[in-house]
Chain A
Amino acid sequence: MATQLKSRSKVTEKKADPVIFNFPEEAQLEETIERPVIMQVKNLHKNYTKDTKVLKDINFDIREGELLSIIGPSGAGKSTLLRTINRMIEPTSGEIIFGDENITKLKGKGLRKMRTDIGMIFQHYNLVDRLSVFENVLHGLLGYKNSLQGILSLYSEEEKEKALEIITELGIEDHIYKRCDELSGGQKQRVGIARALIQDPKIILCDEPIASLDPRASMVIMEYLKRISRERGITVIVNLHQVDVAKKYSDRMIGLNAGEIVFNDAPEVMDQGIVTKIYGSKADELIVE
């Protein structure tokens, strides 16, 4: 496990990124518990075949504006869980209540409409490499467009202005004309975040967002995610490999082991015993402060 963690941060950034922000003290101290619940996951199961049960009876609430991290060993079902939330993977059974609606039943237009409310960022950024930063960011609006408007890139001036605003906020305004394959990993991930933000989502799902980044770029990305949840009140759900990073940035942590939730509480509660419970006997190889 330890070597795996190390090798994952092999991709290095050539250019230094301008860091960092300080959060207002009061924002940091705000209590998570009082925030309204915006999504409820109930009795969620996912079987790929009869014998491979990836998710077993998953139940949890998602609150407005919290940064929720999901940790667990490889193959615990983190990615599957994240992708069932926006139905990129169909759950076998169970309910996901999002704004009074059970979204597991949605189809066609309703499904697309639901997905505009949930942004997503990925480990490998999933940008269209040959297109410019600006175009990639505008892709976040496709869910609001009909097919023809999307294909012909009919974006309004307001939408373009909004894209520019978000790009500037994420500090990549100098690269707006560049093709995405010219960017460093950290810059690509910021384009990914911008694409999610322009959707004006209620939730942003992040699937291993820093697993391909070096420590410095990882920190920049995590700071941005934290800031998004604080300043915009957007719920951020992050799959993470690194327990220490999860502890540092999360408002709440969910520990997943073999498709079951074994921990769901504030990061302060997390200790060595719980880490062992999540990761099994190999846990002592993990670095936990």
Chain B
Amino acid sequence: MSSKSSTQHLSRVNIIRKKHIRLTIAALIILGLIILAGEITSYDHIDGLLSIPAAISWLFSNMLFSAGTLANFPTVLRLLWETILISIVSTTTASVFALIFALLGSQLTQVNTFLMYVAKLVASVSRNIPVVAWALILVLSFGTNSATGFLALFFATFGFLVRAYIETIDEASSDSIEALRATGATYPQMIFKAVLPGSMPQLFSWTLFMIETNIRSATLVGLLTGTGIGYLFDLYYKQLNYEMVSLITLSIVVAVLIIEAISNRIRREII
């Protein structure tokens, strides 16, 4: 059917040239935006780049820690551990609630339209309030303790996971749900026999991703709620004790790397 009916002349097929033009225009627009943003905020890009070496040498002269600083290492580890635990607990708790809301909110598994919109709305609100705002709001009512940090992470994680789970469920299970419905299966059977087995690896993957993200956020949340490693960071930072600050920062980086390695390992195993 192809060669006979081909009336197009090759010289008139300009798909590739059009794409090149579009790409060039896009690049120019981005460049223009960078320059414009610099003008408006009176930020000189060249100066910014040139100050990097000076900043690095300051870092090295102030933040290399001595043996004396290491004496505080057990405290750092204790609070780091507390922070990690809070992020894991808040993520896993949030994931349980998120799964229920995602099942109600997914087009495929919804129970009724009203509940679907309620679930989506609740998730959207808790997602669109940033974790920092959650922390600041909650610290007013709960005070500076671990529960505040837990709740702040919980709400932000919950909102994000509902959305990620809904997309996973929609993607993974429409065909098998149809098949099970046709056999006369009940709603719970469809959830447990088609939806969950089909989307399990993706659901786990998102949960692990959020645990990683939350260990980073937990530091910031701790800084605002006065708990965990974030609090310690804030304390030494304000005392201008940069050696301790760098020790804490390095510990956080190492902890995040270890958690990432573990979750990558788990991910490989389950998929």
Interface residues of A (CB under 8 A from B): 2-3, 86, 88, 111-116, 118-120, 122, 124-131, 139-147, 150-151, 192, 195, 199, 205
Contacts and interface: CB of A to CB of B under 8 A. Distances in A.
B49 interface: no
Interface of B: 1-2, 175-176, 178-189, 192-194, 197-198, 200-201
Contacts of B179: 120, 122, 126-127, 139, 192, 195
A128 B175 CA distance: 8
Nearest to B173: A128
A139 B175 contact: no
A199 B201 CA distance: 29
Given A112-B184, A112-B186, A142-B185, A128 B176 contact: yes
Given A126-B178, A142-B184, 10 more contacts: A88-B182, A113-B184, A115-B181, A120-B182, A129-B176, A142-B193, A147-B186, A147-B188, A150-B186, A199-B183
- Count chain A CB atoms within 10 A of each CB in B184, B189, B200 and give the residue with the most: B184
Given A126-B175, A126-B176, A150-B188, A139 B183 contact: yes
A205 B194 CA distance: 20
- Count chain A CB atoms within 10 A of each CB in B179, B188, B192 and give the residue with the most: B179
Contacts of B188: 147, 150-151
Contacts, number: 88
A128 B184 contact: no
A151 B200 contact: no
B260 to A, nearest CB: 25
A127 B182 contact: no
Given A128-B197, A131-B197, A86 B182 contact: yes
Contact of B183 (A2, A128, A151, A195): A195
A143 B184 contact: yes
B184 A151 contact: no
A147 to B, nearest CB: 4
A244 to B, nearest CB: 19
A117 B181 CA distance: 13
Contacts of A128: 176, 193-194, 197-198
Given A2-B1, A3-B1, A115 B183 contact: yes
Contacts of B194: 128, 139
A139 B182 contact: no
B211 to A, nearest CB: 23
Contacts of A141: 183
Contacts of B200: 130
Contacts of A151: 188-189, 192-193
A115 B193 contact: no
B193 A139 contact: yes
A122 B189 contact: no
Nearest to B176: A128
A115 B182 CA distance: 6
Nearest to B191: A151
Given A2-B1, A143-B183, A150 B178 contact: no
B209 to A, nearest CB: 20
Contacts of A114: 184
Contact of A88 (B1, B178, B193): B178
A127 B176 contact: yes
A16 to B, nearest CB: 27
A270 B187 CA distance: 43
A114 B185 CA distance: 11
Contacts of B197: 128, 130-131
A165 B1 CA distance: 47
Q: Which 5 A-B pairs have the closest CB atoms?
A: A143-B184, A115-B184, A126-B179, A150-B189, A142-B185
A199 B180 CA distance: 12
A139 B180 contact: yes
A2 B175 CA distance: 27
A129 B198 contact: yes
B183 A116 contact: yes
A120 B176 CA distance: 12
B189 A142 contact: yes
A111 B192 CA distance: 20
Contacts of A86: 182
A264 B199 CA distance: 43
Contacts of A124: 175
Contacts of A88: 178, 181-182
A139 B178 contact: no
B1 A122 contact: no
Contact of B198 (A125, A130, A205): A130
B216 to A, nearest CB: 31
A147 B1 CA distance: 53
12 contacts: A86-B182, A88-B181, A112-B184, A115-B182, A115-B183, A116-B184, A119-B182, A127-B179, A140-B183, A142-B180, A142-B183, A142-B189
